[in-house]
Chains A and B, each alone.
Chain A
Amino acid sequence: MDITRLTAIELGKKIKSKEVGVVEAIKASLEKIEKYEQEFNCYVTIDKEGALKRGEEIQKLIDEGTLDSPLAGVPVAIKDNICTKGLRTTCSSKILSNFKPTYNAEAVINLEKAGAVIIGKTNMDEFAMGSTTETSAFGETKNPWNKEHVPGGSSGGSCAAVALEECFYALGSDTGGSIRQPSSFCGVVGIKPTYGTVSRYGLIAYGSSLDQIGPIARSVEDCANILEIISSFDVKDSTSIKREEYDFTSALVDDVKGMKIGIPTDYFKEGIDEEVKKAILKAAKTLEEKGAIVEEFELGLVDYAIYAYYVIASAEASSNLARFDGVKYGYRTKDYENLNDMYKRTRSEGFGTEVKRRIMLGSFVLSSGYYDAYYLKALKVKALIKEEFNKAFKKYDVILGPVAPTTAPKLGESLSDPIKMYLGDIYTVSINLAGLPAISVPCGIDSKGLPIGLQLIGDCFKEKNIIRAAYAYEKTRPYIRPTINI
C-alpha cells in the first residue's frame, strides 16, 4: 500500500487503528518530497527533523488515548504566509527570507491541538500577489499535471503538494481566489470560508478585509473536517466572527434533492474556454439528475468586480506592507545614508515587481485627491456587488460556476501581461468582496490533460450548502490523480 495516496481522513483512521504509524506516514511524505521537489518546487522550507520529532510525540499521545481528532498524526503543509513558531515564514519574499515567527497563527494552533504534524512551508506568489506562483522569490512551482504549466496561485505550492501527494492536506489563504484557482488548476479541493470564520491572527496580511485561511485536500470530506478544526472565534482577530455553529462535517451527505442551484448566465458570456464551459454545465446537469433544482439567472456586475477588487486589495496591501521597513525583521539594505533612505532601499531591493506594482497602485488610490474617485468608488461598487449576491441567495442555496475561465496557462505566459492575469480572477474575486464561502472541486480534464474546477458559492455562514453539493457531486466521479513525469 502506498500510504501517501490515502486521503487525510483515511490516514487518520489507519493511524487510530494502528495500521499505520505516525512516523511511518511522515517518512512516506518526506520520501515523496525527496522524489519530486527538485522538479516541482512546492516547498520553501521542509522541516524534516521537526516533523519526525513531533511525530513521535503525537504517536505517544494517540497511544495514551489523549488525542482523538480525526486528523491526529496526519502530515500537513502550511502556506508560507501563515506564521509557524520557530519555523521560517517568508511569504516567498526576499524581504522576509530569514524571518522566524515567535508565535503560531491561530489556525496552526488549532491544527496542532488536533495533533497535526507540519511537514513544511509551501511556495506561493510573493505576499500572495499573483495567480501563478511565478512571483515567488524562491522560484516557480510547476503544475503536477504538466510541468510546462503553472500550478495557479497564489497558494500554488500548497495545491501542487497536495496533488503530488507530498502531504495529505495543506492550508492556503484566499484573498481573491488564491485557494480556489490553484485547487482548480491542480485538480484538488479547496474551500474559502465565510470571512471571519478562520482567525487571521498570524496570517501575514495582504488585503485584510478579504483574506481568509482555508483547507486544501484531495476530497470534500477532508476539507470539511479540516475546516471544522481550524475555524474558531478568536479575540486576537478583531474581525473574527462568533458563529452559531462550527459543524461542517454533518453536511457530508450524498443528497441534493430539492437544493436550489443558480447558474449566472453572465459567467458564460465571453472569455471562457469552451471545454471549461462544457465541463461546468455538465456538472450542473449531474447535480440536476441527482435531484437539485437548477436554473439560470442574471447575477449582474460580474465584469466590474475585478476592478473594484484590485483597487481595494492594492489599497489594503499598500498599508499592510508598510511594516516591512528593515527595522524589526527581515531584510535590510547594506548601504544607506539615513533612515528614509534605508526604508526606500530596503523595500525596493526586498520586494519583487508585482508587489511593488500593487503597492504603487494602492498608494495612489489612497492618496489625497484620488481617494474619492478610486478607493471610495470601489467600496461603493463593493456594496452593489454584495446586494446582487443578497438578491441571488434569496432564490438559491448555491451558485454554480467555473473557478477560472481557462485551465492552467503555460509558465511565463501570464506575467508579461498583468491585466490579462488579473482578468483570469473574474469568477473568484467577487466572492471575497462579498465575504462569501466557496469551494473548488474537480469536474473534468481538458484536451490538454489539465484539470477543470467547479466553483460552488454559498451565502455567508452557509458552508454546509456548498459542502453538501460538492460532496454529492464528488460521489459521481472518482478522484483522478495526475500522471507524474519526471
Chain B
Amino acid sequence: MSQVISDELMEYIANLAKLELSEKEKEQAKKDMERMLSYIDKLNELDTEGIEPLSHIFSVNNVFREDVVTNGDDSENILSNAPERKDEAFKVPKTVE
C-alpha cells in the first residue's frame, strides 16, 4: 500500500516547508512524492521490531565548553550580507499588527 497525497496534505507540507508552489509545480511535486514514497515503502519489508533508531554513528553526549567570546565584533560585515537593514539591525516586514 503506498501513500496517497491529497491536495490538502500537499498544501499542509508546503506550508511547513515555507514554499509556495504554482499549480503546475504542485501537481509535479505530488507525483514525485507519491512515486518516491512508493519506493521508500520497500523499507517496510524489513523487520525493525526492537531495533533502536540510530541517529548518530558515534554515541554523542552534550558537548559543553565555557562560553568565552573568541571572535571580535563583526556586525558590519554580517549586516552587509542582509537583503535589507536599518542601522544596526536586519529589516523585516511588519510582524505584529
Which chain A residues have a beta carbon within 8 Å of chain B's beta carbons? Answer: 98-100, 102-103, 195-196, 209, 235, 238-239, 241, 301, 303-304, 307-308, 310-311, 318, 322, 325-332, 336, 338-340, 342-345, 347-348, 351, 356-357, 359-364, 367, 374, 376-384, 386, 418-419, 434-435, 460
Contact = CB atoms under 8 A, between A and B. Distances in A.
B65 A339 contact: no
A360 B33 contact: yes
Contacts of A364: 13, 33
The 3 lowest CB-CB distance pairs between A and B, nearest first, are: A435-B57, A379-B53, A332-B83
Contact of A379 (B54, B58, B63, B93): B54
B6 interface: no
Contacts, number: 152
B8 interface: no
A384 B46 contact: yes
B42 interface: yes
Given A379-B55, A383-B51, A434-B57, A418 B32 contact: yes
A356 B57 contact: no
Contacts of B94: 338-339
B93 A339 contact: yes
B20 interface: yes
Nearest to B30: A360
Question: In this complex, which of A308, A344, A359, A360 has the most chain B Cβ atoms within 10 angstroms of its Cβ?
Answer: A360
B43 A332 contact: no
A363 B13 contact: yes
A435 B43 contact: no
25 contacts: A102-B74, A103-B71, A196-B58, A209-B56, A235-B63, A238-B63, A303-B42, A307-B40, A307-B42, A307-B43, A328-B78, A343-B18, A344-B20, A345-B20, A356-B29, A360-B19, A360-B29, A364-B33, A379-B55, A380-B52, A380-B53, A384-B48, A386-B57, A418-B36, A434-B57
A364 B3 CA distance: 11
B15 to A, nearest CB: 8
A361 B20 contact: no
Given A241-B58, A364-B33, A384 B51 contact: yes
A328 B81 contact: yes
Contacts of A196: 58
B31 to A, nearest CB: 11
A242 to B, nearest CB: 11
A338 B93 contact: yes
B90 A356 contact: no
Given A328-B78, A380-B54, A434-B57, 9 more contacts: A102-B78, A195-B57, A327-B92, A339-B93, A344-B20, A360-B29, A364-B13, A380-B48, A380-B52
B33 A361 contact: yes
A69 B29 CA distance: 50
Contacts of B45: 304
A322 B60 CA distance: 24
Given A328-B90, A383-B51, A318 B17 contact: yes
Contacts of B44: 377
A348 B43 contact: no
B93 to A, nearest CB: 5
B69 interface: no
Interface string B52-92: 11111110100101000001001001101111100000101
A427 to B, nearest CB: 17
B4 interface: no
B44 to A, nearest CB: 7
A131 to B, nearest CB: 15
Contact of B83 (A303, A326, A418): A326
B56 A239 contact: yes
